């Protein structure tokens, strides 16, 4: 835990120094320079790069990472080896820990980290989420897909006790243990936080962090009613720790540990390309994520100069493609919720080239929803048949995606606009 404690202190000092964009940019330049020398020396995929020109390093995505897996980790571990070890229920190869993403896009991501990186991740996260952890004890419940088992193994500290609750087991299996653990801080997907609140398992005064899924507005009231505190977010993925909400509720990107580049998507949204400064066992460098973000250019009242995010809106492969038009998840989500404020759950799915199916709870206004979605689509110059039904279909998906595109065109690419 000495590494985690040091990472905590370093992160707090770093955030105190990075009070403007110039300081953030200077820190990024230094970190990228150090990383470049490591890549050229220790990661085969990057042999021959110019360490001083990160703008010329290749941009990669999940498929490139999988295709060149052994060349992108310093130990040369093959992807098949990682899969075989995970299939046996193990999560280590030698002195390295391994894991995988949930695979919501149908294609899992796999990763390799060393123990030092896990402790740095933990210390940095705690520094951002629990800035008083040096003088106040905390009991933190983690209920996260995939990440829990890997990173909870890093343990807590003398003042932070971590409780791990496996989502794969279902809440019923660990509800009693969760209540006995009595956490003062919970990190979980919004659907889990909402379920815990409904069951009366979250006490007033608890700090809740939504993580691992898109936070839809319909989930916020029930969670905040249970905690009597603002719901905060932790933005993280296989690619690393990407952002944490401050006490004012603003999601700030973790620009002290990750470099962000932006590619334009539809409707003013951006798609991040990320470089994690802290990763050494496996490169996570100029990695194009599938997420869609809406950035916020307003300076937060907390004073942080780190980029604020108005919302993580969804995934690029869930953009609706209707004719030549692209409809973003937030447009559809907002249209449906504005049509009937009583709606507290929903699904919107593109099922065909010009077909959309929406599901809402019984007793809600299907006619208004159908009209609102139709108008939203027409505003971007497209037309689709919208069918609205009552009753929310059950899902066993690890991550809840209320807006998704199930239809896939035979030959199409989503161009930036």
* Average pLDDT of span 244-251: 92
pLDDT of residue 347: 97
pLDDT at 104 > cutoff 80: no
More confident residue, 259 or 136: 259
- Sequence-distant (6+) residues with CB within 8 A of 318 are 329, 401, 403, 404, 405
Cα separation, 90 vs 67, whole angstroms: 23
Answer for the pair 321, 352: CB distance below 8 angstroms, yes or no: no
Beta-sheet strands, E only, within 184-229: 185-188, 207-211
Q: How far is CA 273 from CA 284, 292, 300, in A?
A: 10, 11, 23
pLDDT at 415 > cutoff 50: no
Q: Which tens digit of pLDDT belongs to each residue from 33-54?
A: 999 999 999 999 999 999 999 9
pLDDT at 150 > cutoff 90: no
* Average pLDDT of span 186-208: 95
pLDDT of residue 43: 97
Q: Which tens digit of pLDDT belongs to each residue from 267-289?
A: 899 999 999 999 999 999 999 99
pLDDT at 389 > cutoff 80: yes
Give the pLDDT band (50/70/90) at residue 147.
Answer: low
pLDDT at 412 > cutoff 50: no
- Which of 213-222, 329-338, 388-397 is least confident? 388-397
DSSP 380: T
Token pair belonging to 29? 């330049």
pLDDT at 145 > cutoff 80: no
- How crowded is residue 167: how many other Cβ atoms within 10 Å of its Cβ? 21
| SS3 state of residue 355 | strand
pTM over the 0.95 mark:
no
């Amino acid at each position: 835990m000495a590494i985690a404690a040091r990472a905590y202190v370093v992160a707090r000092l770093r955030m105190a120094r990075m009070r403007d964009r110039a300081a953030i940019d200077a820190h990024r330049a230094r970190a990228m320079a150090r990383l470049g020398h490591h890549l050229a020396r220790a990661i085969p995929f990057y042999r021959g790069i110019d360490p001083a020109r990160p703008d010329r390093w290749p941009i990669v995505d999940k498929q490139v990472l999988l295709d060149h897996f052994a060349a992108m980790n310093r130990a040369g571990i093959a992807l098949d080896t990682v899969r075989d070890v995970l299939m046996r229920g193990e999560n280590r190869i030698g002195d390295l820990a391994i894991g995988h993403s949930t695979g919501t896009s149908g294609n899992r991501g796999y990763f390799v980290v060393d123990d030092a990186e896990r402790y740095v991740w933990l210390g940095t996260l705690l520094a951002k989420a629990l800035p008083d952890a040096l003088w106040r004890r905390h009991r933190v419940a983690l209920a996260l897909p995939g990440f829990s088992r890997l990173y909870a193994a890093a343990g807590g500290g003398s003042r932070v006790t971590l409780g791990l609750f496996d989502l794969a087991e279902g809440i019923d299996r660990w509800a009693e243990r969760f209540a006995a653990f009595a956490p003062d801080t919970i990190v979980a997907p919004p659907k889990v936080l909402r379920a815990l609140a409904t069951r009366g398992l979250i006490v007033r005064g608890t700090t809740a962090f939504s993580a691992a899924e898109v936070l839809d507005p319909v989930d916020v009231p029930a969670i905040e009613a249970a905690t009597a505190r603002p719901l905060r977010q932790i933005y993280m993925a296989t690619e690393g720790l990407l952002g944490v909400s401050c006490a004012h509720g603003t999601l700030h990107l973790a620009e002290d540990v990750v470099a962000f580049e932006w590619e334009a998507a539809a409707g003013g949204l951006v798609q991040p390309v990320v470089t994690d400064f802290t990763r050494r066992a496996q490169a996570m460098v100029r990695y194009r994520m599938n997420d869609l973000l809406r950035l916020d250019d307003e300076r937060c009242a907390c004073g942080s100069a780190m980029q604020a995010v108005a919302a993580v809106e969804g995934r690029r492969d869930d953009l609706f493609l209707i004719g030549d038009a692209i409809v973003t998840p937030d447009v559809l989500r907002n249209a449906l919720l504005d049509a009937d404020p009583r709606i507290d759950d929903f699904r919107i799915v593109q099922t065909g080239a010009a077909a959309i199916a929406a599901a809402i709870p019984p007793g809600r206004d299907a006619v208004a929803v159908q009209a609102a979605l139709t108008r939203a689509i027409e505003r971007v110059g497209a037309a689709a048949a919208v069918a609205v039904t009552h009753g929310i279909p059950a899902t066993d998906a690890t991550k809840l995606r209320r807006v998704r595109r199930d239809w896939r065109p035979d030959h199409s690419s989503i161009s930036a606009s």
